[in-house]
Structure 1
Amino acid sequence: MGNAIAKSGIPRDEIFLTTKVWIEHYGYERAKASVLESMRKLQVDYLDLCLLHQPFSDAYGAYRALEELYDEGKIRAIGISNFYTDRMVDFASFNRIKPMVNQVEIHPHNQQTEAKAWHDKYGIQMEAWAPFGEGRGDMFHTPELKVIAEKYGKSVAQVILRWHLQRGIVIIPKSTHLERMEENFHVFDFSLSEDDMAVIATIDKKQSSFFSHNDPNMVEWFVKMVDERKQQHDCTKDKKNW
């Protein structure tokens, strides 16, 4: 990524770089070292946004490192990811600098309406890491979305992106197909009506299409994954030293 940025010829101020701190790098010292290492690999002297990836482990210590790097101008904005509303309020209340962004699961089948109201109250921007829900639940074939898409001569994906934008949600759509990447840009030449927005509100299943961070089994899964990654890292390090 760093080499691609350097070779692109695009001015740095026209590129918005976001990175995250993973759980195994939580804690003040490790988080700070992780961010600085990311900057070194990206070959940049500042990041536009840096987030804590998950609401586990020593998130408070890690966030203090982000606050310090923000004060130093090495990060332009700091935030969190996958923090449910209760954790977001806690974090916003007991840290020196309130998180500026919370990147969470938001899509038509999990609209996070109540969470959105709380984020608005605290002035924290919500960002959708899976604006299409990765197509789960037959998202792109949802009858209500197909009817609206046909009405505007747009794709279901474009309707979903427009819906996010009108709700004030930052979106980061992902595609490996060039034509779909281009299609994703063409969402500023139409607006959904209030009736359209109301129809989309009716397809909210109000539950994750992936997993719950409140599930103890899922927390244990994260802990196990961190331990396995650490073992793999240590094994690779030993092989290099040998």
Structure 2
Amino acid sequence: MEKFTLNNGVKMPVIGIGTFLMDPDHAEQAVYDALNSGYRMIDTANGYMNEKAVGRGMKKTGVDRKDIFLSTKLWPSVYEDPNAVDDTLRRLGTDYVDLLFIHQPSGNWEAGYRQLEKALKDGKARAIGISNFHDEKLAKLLEVSEVKPQVMQYENHPYYTADDVRKALAPFNVRFMAWYPLGHGDKSLQREPVFTELGRKYGKSPAQVILRWHVQFGNVVIPGSTNPDHIRANADIFDFTLTDEEMDEIAKIKKNIRYYNGSAAQEESYAQMRPDFDSQK
């Protein structure tokens, strides 16, 4: 498994299993299947309501905790809760996470980010990150933060590479972690002729070519799947390398159009949602 080195020296696998939209039973099994297939990174969140299941899946495999890169996210409603980090660790069944995010630029996100900085200092997180920040809130966070983020989790795929966000983060060497890496189920992305042609050349599926593009573009990727065959196939991208010319051809299909179109008001509404995270299975 290839790894990227973050701006604080921590090494992070380039691909992991994402658990967004997975119910607890599916998340537990997907984590188990992924770790048994050679994955060493898992991404979850308070808001996914499957942290307990993720922890169970990790333990079932018998893989040493120190060999797993685990990331999760604080939900806006707990940004001001002094117990939020400890509660998250308890649900996951671990005494630290490798990467801790704040999930949305809503609510009192400054308090949330201070929680991340404290978790880093206290050894409860090895790296910290932000998710979905952009425009003036991103600029303010970069201005007021004591510790700059190591990772930004953001929508990213060949149709959309978030160039404005990348430009803002470039001076701090912040690594991108891509969600919707395969286009959120949009078959038109995988059916682009460039991916069909490259798939034939390298004996890979269009999805595998896209995931390889991500890694060479510099993105960490977290494709989610509950199908063991798809989980294995998604990680089978390290036996070929796209040429510079092929990367340039893929760049030509960029549309600068996002699948996610949430408004500022919608983002702010997340701060009002208060799920009972401990009620999860």
**TM-score (norm. length: structure 2):** 0.74
Note the C-alpha offset of 1:84: 1.8
**1:90–1:224 Cα change, 3 Å:** closer
Q: Decide which moves more: 95-104 or 128-137.
A: 128-137
| One of 64, 82, 87 as aligned partner of 1:37 | 87
Aligned counterpart, 2:64: 11
Aligned counterpart, 2:100: 50
**Pairwise mapping of residues 55-66 of structure 1 onto structure 2 (< 5 A)?**
55-66=105-116
Cα offsets for 1:157-182 (capped at 9, x unmatched):
11111111111111111112111111
| One of 243, 264, 269 as aligned partner of 1:193 | 243
Tell me which protein shows more strand as a share of its residues: 2
Give, in whole Å, the separation in 2 of the partners of 1:82 and 1:137. 24
Q: Quick one: which amino acid aligns to residue 201 of structure 1?
A: A
Q: Quick one: which amino acid aligns to residue 64 of structure 2?
A: P
Note the C-alpha offset of 1:83: 1.0
Note the C-alpha offset of 1:89: 3.6
Note the C-alpha offset of 1:86: 4.7
Q: Decide which moves more: 96-105 or 135-144.
A: 135-144
Q: Quick one: which amino acid aligns to residue 203 of structure 1?
A: I
Note the C-alpha offset of 1:118: 3.5
Aligned counterpart, 1:152: 202
Q: Number of aligned pairs? A: 224
Larger radius of gyration: 1
| One of 186, 202, 220 as aligned partner of 1:170 | 220
Note the C-alpha offset of 1:54: 0.7
Aligned counterpart, 1:219: 264
Q: Quick one: which amino acid aligns to residue 121 of structure 1?
A: P
Tell me which protein shows more helix as a share of its residues: 1
Aligned counterpart, 1:22: 75
Cα offsets for 1:77-119 (capped at 9, x unmatched):
1110011255334312211111111100000111223433442
**1:73–1:224 Cα change, 3 Å:** closer
Q: Give the match's secondary structure for 1:102.
A: strand
Q: Quick one: which amino acid aligns to residue 135 of structure 1?
A: G
Note the C-alpha offset of 1:140: 1.5
Q: Give the match's secondary structure for 1:37.
A: helix
**1:84–1:137 Cα change, 3 Å:** farther
Q: Give the match's secondary structure for 1:93.
A: helix
Cα offsets for 1:44-92 (capped at 9, x unmatched):
1111111010111211111111111110101111110011255334312
**Which structure 2 residue ranges, 5 or more long, are not aligned?**
1-52
Q: Give the match's secondary structure for 1:18.
A: strand
Cα offsets for 1:110-158 (capped at 9, x unmatched):
1223433442322111110221121226222122221222222211111
**1:114–1:196 Cα change, 3 Å:** farther
Give, in whole Å, the separation in 2 of the partners of 1:226 and 1:156. 38
Q: Whose relative contact order is higher, 1 or 2, with alpha carbons under 8 Å and at least 6 apart?
A: 2
Q: Contact 2:73–2:100 (CA<8 Å) still a contact in 1? A: yes
Aligned counterpart, 1:90: 140
| One of 67, 86, 110 as aligned partner of 2:160 | 110
**TM-score (norm. length: structure 1):** 0.85
**Which structure 1 residue ranges, 5 or more long, are not aligned?**
213-217, 237-242
